[in-house]
Structure 1
Amino acid sequence: MFSWRAEVRPGVWVAFTDAAAGNLALHVGDDPAQVRLRRRELELAAGLGTRRFQYMNQVHGSDVAVIDPAAAAAGPAQTALTADAMVSRGGPLAVMVADCVPVVLVGEPAAGAPLLGVVHAGRPGVASGIVHAAVARLRALGSGRISAWLGPSICGNCYEVPDAMRAEVAALVPATWCSTSRGTPGLDLPAGVRGQLEADDVTVEYSGGCTLEDETLFSYRRDSNTGRFAGPVWTVGSDWTND
């Protein structure tokens, strides 16, 4: 179910699922009942009890949603917000991808629950600064030190784009400029995200492999009729949970 999972701080967990967990997206033509069942299985595997992960309707934009922990309470009426990043005061969050960079953020405030964040960092989002926006929102909520975990995504060796697109994105985020393993124009989105995080004084503690090269993960470039895996972050076994 998990390609990677770790307790990154006492009571704070970060993970990235794999294809064995099944498709977790409602927008790819899958049976919604089966998707919700898989989401619930993920929540139980994470030890959330009656709590729910908050998901987004991801649109490659630059909006950051602030989630009240009550939004992750039990019940089938959980509503996905249209945004490409979310932050919360301890409420469980999840981002979905199939080649874009899933970014998980954990901020450490002076007191109280840890501040959690997730970012859907595809090519348009990296270019428009969605990562910077999410970090700024965490800081506005009182976060001191912030750390990041980058899940699997398409790598620069594999992500071939037109030369004009490479130039356009790299003009905004220079670290994305690259050539693929075939010598064609490419974009290195993970490098771009790492550069943005480092510029914001965020420590990157983990970076996953390439989705296109790993058949245990979903990849839109490999198969456009594919599912989405998730990058969840949550708290368990602490005073921050409400179970």
Structure 2
Amino acid sequence: MDVALVQGRTAIVTGAAQGIGLEIARVLHAGGASVVLADLDAAAATAAAVALGDRAIGVGADVTDEAAVDSLVARAVEHFGSLDIMVNNAGITRDASLKKMTVDNFDAVITVHLRGTWLGVRAASAVMREQKSGSIVNISSLSGKSGNPGQTNYSAAKAGIVGLTKAAAKELAHHNVRVNSVQPGLIRTAMTEAMPPEVFAEREAAIPMKRAGEPREVANAVLFLASELSSYITGGVLEVGGGRLM
């Protein structure tokens, strides 16, 4: 995508050192935005930002820590002068059956996804309300729509992100701040490609388009929601899953 849909804007992407988060950062950067790549791994975030070149910085940030998220937003405004796009993408998995899942693993996933997204929405919207403009995009998952066995923690967190998105969208609409969510399906990443080949093939075969998605396809959806092409869309949930679960 080489159209400058977000020219001159500033974006933060959490969990941006690898995978879908990194691809979102690349696409926003290619679209003209200055990008803060935030990740728990500060060195990896910095390396990814260096690879992008000008208009990109890497920042270490724990999205579950209130002060760290507030500092991240302040750093973006200080360095680039504004905050126009916030992408809450950071996440983890701790898969196990109900019988085997520990409370610690349940809490870890809920905290990173749900508290992390809430802290990001809260901190970003504080700046955007004053600007009277901004777009927040929260990364959910089709697992939050259908539920996956072995992912009671992840599915609950991703469903919660949808509710959070809609509530925040209602609160912020009159400030001209939009809040939307993207729900990826089976996307070809290092994590999914580590699945047993037969399991991956079975899941791919169940998709009406008969293929897994690419990270760029999720990133392009985020770019749409971040740009003025979606200027009258808020509280929406955009599925990027090749027709799975429709």
Give the shorter-chain TM-score range.
Answer: 0.3 to 0.5
TM-score, normalised by the number of residues in structure 1 = 0.41
Instruction: Please report the TM-score for the alignment, with normalisation by the length of structure 2.
Output: 0.41
Q: Give 1 or 2: higher helix fraction.
A: 2
Looking at secondary structure, tell me which structure has more strand per residue.
1
